[in-house]
Structures are given as C-alpha cells and as structure tokens.
C-alpha cells in the first residue's frame, strides 16, 4: 500500500473545494451567457497544472484519476437512467429507436471505419474509439437542453439520447477490450462474457435497486425520510449496485445503469429528489473530473494534432449528421430540427471516461487512443459549447415563442380539479394552509396566484392538475414569473411536491 501523502491529500481537498465554490458562483453567469461551463474548469485545471502554476500534476497512472473516473462514469450512467421519463420514452418510441439505433450505432460505425482508414489502428481499438466518440457529454448537453429556443422534438430526442446512448455504447467497448486482450478466444469464453454482461450485471443492479426501494418505502411509512436525504440515498444505490456487480465479476457500470432504470420505473418520488439535489452532486463530481483532465491529460491531445488527426476530427464531426439525417427522415421532423440533432452531439466527459476503460485495462495503443479522444473533445468543447450563441441568435425570439411559452393556466384535469394532497396537507410554519388559502381567495381572488411548480417529470406523469394554476418551470421560475408578469404584491401559493 502506498504511503500517505499529506500534501496530495490537502491539494485534493483544496481542488474539490475550488470546484464547488467556482461552480456555484458561476452557475448563474454561465446560464445567462450560454458559455460552456466545462471550459471554465478545463482552464482551472490548466492553471493549477504543470503548464500553469505547477501545483498539481495528474497523469494517466494517478490513483486519484482512476478512482474519480470510475465513480464519475458510474454516476453518469446512473444519472442518465434515473433521469429518463418512462412515459415520454414510450410515447416517442419511433424517435427513440431512430436516435439510438441508426443514429448512435451508425455514428459509432462511421468513426470506427475512419479510425481504421485514417489512423491505421486495429479493428478492436477502432471499435473502442468509435463507441467513445459517439457518446454525448451530459454536462454540455444539459446546458443545451435548457435553451428555451429548442423545439420540443429536439429536446425530447436529445434527452432520450443522453439517457440511453452510453448504455448502448458501453458493451461495445467492453467486448472490444476483451477481444484486444484475447481473453475470449473460444465460444465458451464469449458465452461467459455475454452471461456477465447481459445477465449478472443487470441483475445485480436490479436486485440492489429493488431492495433499496423496498427498504425506503418501509421506512417512509414507519418514521418518514427527509427529502434531501433521499437524493443521497440515490447515490448510495448507484455505488452499491456497482460494487455488487463487480463482486460477481460483472460490470459495475452496467449494474449502475440497470439500478437507475429500476428506480426510474418504480419510484418517481425518489427520482425527483435525485433530479433536484443528487443530480447537482453528480454534476460536481463530473466537473471535478474535468478539472483533473484539464491539469495535463486533455492537452496531450494537442501533441497529436497532425494533419491526419485533424482530418479524422473533421470526419468525427461529420459522422453524426451523416448518420442522423437519413435516420430522422422517418420521424418527419422539420429540416431545422434534423440539423440541430445532427449537430448537437457534444463529445466531452463521457467520451473521456469511456476511453479510459481500455487505458486502465492496459490495452496496447491505449495512450494514442486517449490522445486522439482528447483532441476531439477539445474541439467539441469549443465548437459545441459556443455554437448555441450563433445558432439560436437569429431564431431566439421565434424559438422562445414556440418552445417556452406555456399556457397561462394548467390544462383541464384528467380526473379531478382538486389535488388530493391539498385536502391532506398539514400546516407548518413554512407553508400556507388550505384554510388560509381559501380565505384569501374568497376575500380577494386577484391577490392570490396559484402556482404549479412541480418538476416536469412529476407534472407529466401526474393524473391531476391544479385548476386555474399558472404553470412555472422550476428550472427558470423567476424568469418565467417575470415573463408572465405575475403581480409582485400578490401571494404566490406554490405547489411543488
């Protein structure tokens, strides 16, 4: 066991603190400006790395990189799965199939072919690189999904892709690693690999998630659970599923995704807690990983920026439109939507995390794979990060009118105009009780505005709505309230459970 290094420990804590502080302080500025948040943290890494102040140096063999990258990839997969809206997925089956099937798979195939043709690497390594570069970055994509100019179709397609494509590409990399290591020569070896990937790994994740959800429901009924702790509970499910699968020689990453899918399908309340708080925690971990890459690793991509490597980068950017344009023709989307979907496939942390799997496995040629991936990611951070400022400038007003403006009041209820939870609500000092609300509305109806600020997931999947309520997106509540010109002197009775 390596000796404890107090200087490394202190510098790591300082780095974690810096990431949290800077991310919090810049969150509003980044949202308003549209600048890529990850670029700030890559620059922070460069500042403290050997090319800057020389405070920290993180190499590919650094234990901290292995630990943080492993946890981050598990969190990416779990977050992708738990964020899925099952009802939205089922109502857009064709779009999901086209995005994940012909779109993602053909993109990976085109990049793999270009890798063999231009970079002259073996097929197994080309498959790893193709799968890694077909993955979309959750952090960069999250900022794009928040753009009000996006049409609902583009937002749905990107949300589905970001939730499922990593799970589709991960097995390709795992199989390619096994082939490159020559550990699956006989049919029996392939059968054992398939058993671990298709049966053991998902089963471990599902069993852990079912047990965790059952325990949570039991404790909820008996003594109750604080809502903020449920988000921490979600993170615990992800890590427990990962460990369970690894203990049976399966893939902890597949197990984490399976656990997330189970949570998404069975426990909507836990999902909302994770989306409200736990997702932010996961994003901090991802940004911290970006800082580690920004110290020195990602800049190694510039060392391989030969004409051939730059040509390969161009081909990578062209592969997605070439795969998505014909595939999306069957979805009958407008040309502008198809162009946006073909362009917005940002490569970032997920690509780097996936390519680190063969690096950590010790595959021959791993350093070259990492450098090429880093080169593509650097270009993607700049081009995909800044392109919304250009693409949406001329369509901003029209896009906002089409995509953002919700109805002033919620639609008619499906079963009842009165939410049952309102009748059972308990009065505390933090809430306005039902009697007070009714009294205010009877005295002066114009002095009270009933606001439905539930998360989009809860709102979509609920059979109840608030009659006469103004619907506000909780992600942009203040901006929406200003846009709808809600009276400043009114009482806002907000329902957000």
- How far is the C-alpha of 440 from the C-alpha of 446, rounded, in Å? 9
Task: Quote the pLDDT of residue 460.
Answer: 60
Compute mean pLDDT per 10 residues along the chain, 497 residues long, and list them.
60 71 72 70 81 79 84 84 75 83 90 94 94 83 73 80 82 90 76 86 94 88 78 86 91 91 78 66 76 85 91 93 85 83 81 90 89 92 79 50 39 41 43 71 75 68 68 70 76 72
What is the model's pLDDT at position 31? 66
Residue 193 structural domain? 6-398
Whether the CB-CB separation of 263 and 213 falls below 8 Å is answered with: yes
Give the chain's domain count.
2
> Are 356 and 298 contacting, i.e. CB atoms less than 8 angstroms apart?
no
- pTM here? 0.74
Give the per-residue pLDDT at 102: 85
> Do the domain assignments include residue 405?
no
Region of 472 (left: φ > 0; alpha: ψ -120 to 50; beta: rest) is beta
Same domain for 377 and 434, yes or no, is no
pLDDT of residue 397: 42
| Residue 174: inside a domain | yes
pLDDT of residue 119: 93
Q: What is the CATH number of the domain that holds 11?
A: 1.20.1530.20
Is residue 225, in this structure, part of any structural domain at all?
yes
Q: Same domain, yes or no, for 281 and 344?
A: yes
Q: Mark whether 372 and 446 lie in a shared domain.
A: no
By the 8 A CB rule, do 166 and 253 touch?
A: no
């Amino acid at each position: 066991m390596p000796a404890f290094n107090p200087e490394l420990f202190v510098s790591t804590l300082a780095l974690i603190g810096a990431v949290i502080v800077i991310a919090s302080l810049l969150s509003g500025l980044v949202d308003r400006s549209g600048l890529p948040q990850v670029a700030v943290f890559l620059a922070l890494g460069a500042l403290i790395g050997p090319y800057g102040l020389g405070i920290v140096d993180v190499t590919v063999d650094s234990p901290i990189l292995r630990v943080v990258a492993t946890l981050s990839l598990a969190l990416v997969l779990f977050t992708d799965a738990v964020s899925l809206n099952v009802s939205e997925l089922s109502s857009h089956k064709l779009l999901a199939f086209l995005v994940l099937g012909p779109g993602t798979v053909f993109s990976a195939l085109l990049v793999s072919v270009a890798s063999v043709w231009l970079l002259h690497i073996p097929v197994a390594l080309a498959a790893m690189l193709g799968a890694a570069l077909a993955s979309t970055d959750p952090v960069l994509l999250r900022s794009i999904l928040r753009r009000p100019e996006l049409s609902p179709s583009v937002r749905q397609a990107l949300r589905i892709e970001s939730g499922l494509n990593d799970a589709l590409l991960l097995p390709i990399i795992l199989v390619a690693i096994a082939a490159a290591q020559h550990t699956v020569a006989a049919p029996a070896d392939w059968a054992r690999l398939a058993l671990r990937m298709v049966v053991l790994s998902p089963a471990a994740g599902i069993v852990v998630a079912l047990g965790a959800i059952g325990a949570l429901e039991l404790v909820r009924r008996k003594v109750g659970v604080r809502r903020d702790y449920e988000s921490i509970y979600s993170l615990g499910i992800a890590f427990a599923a990962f460990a369970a699968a690894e203990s049976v020689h399966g893939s902890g990453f597949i197990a984490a995704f399976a656990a997330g899918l189970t949570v998404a399908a069975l426990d909507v309340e836990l999902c909302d807690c994770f989306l409200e708080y736990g997702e932010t925690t996961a994003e901090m971990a991802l940004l911290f990983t970006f800082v580690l890459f920004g110290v020195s690793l990602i800049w190694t991509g510039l060392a391989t920026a030969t004409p051939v490597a730059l040509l390969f980068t161009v081909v990578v950017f062209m592969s997605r439109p070439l795969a998505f344009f014909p595939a999306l023709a069957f979805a009958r989307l407008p040309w502008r939507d198809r162009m946006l979907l073909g362009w917005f496939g940002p490569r970032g942390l997920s690509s780097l995390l996936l390519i680190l799997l063969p690096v950590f496995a010790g595959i021959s040629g791993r350093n070259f794979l990492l450098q090429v991936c880093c080169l593509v990611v650097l270009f993607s951070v700049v081009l995909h990060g800044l392109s919304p400022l250009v693409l949406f400038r001329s369509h901003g007003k029209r896009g906002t009118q089409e995509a953002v403006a919700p109805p002033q009041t919620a639609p008619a209820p499906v079963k009842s105009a009165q939410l049952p939870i309102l009748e059972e609500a308990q009065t505390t000092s933090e809430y306005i009780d039902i009697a007070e609300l009714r009294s205010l509305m009877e005295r002066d109806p114009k002095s009270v505005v009933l606001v439905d600020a539930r998360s989009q997931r809860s709102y979509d999947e609920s059979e109840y709505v608030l009659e006469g309520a103004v619907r506000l997106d909780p992600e942009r509540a203040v901006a929406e309230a200003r846009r709808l010109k809600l009276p400043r002197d009114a009482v806002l009775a907000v329902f957000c459970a």
